[in-house]
Structure 1
Amino acid sequence: MRGWFRLTVGLLAVVLGALWTVQGLGYVSGSLLTGRRVWTAVGPVVVLIGLVALWYGMRARRRRG
């Protein structure tokens, strides 16, 4: 069960981080985040956190079989 939770949270973080990054760069309009440079820094950090969570989730799933 833990592996699935980490995989889900990791995937969600990667998607949100990528979305925040492109919004910060101004490629996606219609949001309060659009064009704000802070999101170009926050987004990649969230993506990295998501990738780490995915990695730990994959390790937990492999150990269980």
Structure 2
Amino acid sequence: MWLFVVLGAVLVLVGAVWALQGFGMLGGSAMTGSTLWAVIGPIVALVGLALIVIGIARRSRSS
């Protein structure tokens, strides 16, 4: 169960960085200002949030 939470947290962080780069708020990369990463970033972050919720829900049921 903790694997879902940890993986979800990593995906949320990666998605946030990708989104910020895509929106041009975080520079220093070829991804900066790219619409593709402005779309992919939030999707990855949402998948991460879903994994966190699943991990917490499974942990609560197994206790």
TM over 0.5: yes
Task: Please list every run of 5 or more consecutive structure 2 residues that lacks an aligned counterpart in the other structure.
Answer: none
Structure 1: state its 5+ residue gaps. Answer: none
Q: What secondary structure is seen at the aligned counterpart in 2 of 1:34?
A: coil
Cα distance in 1 for residues equivalent to 2:19 and 2:8: 16
Percent sequence identity over aligned pairs: 37
Give the paired residue count: 63
Partner of 2:18: 20
Q: Extract structure 1 runs of 4+ deviating beyond 3 A.
A: none
Match of 1:30 in 2: 28
Q: TM-score, normalised by structure 2?
A: 0.93
Kindly provide the amino acid, as one letter, of the partner of residue 10 in structure 1: G
CA RMSD between the two structures:
0.8
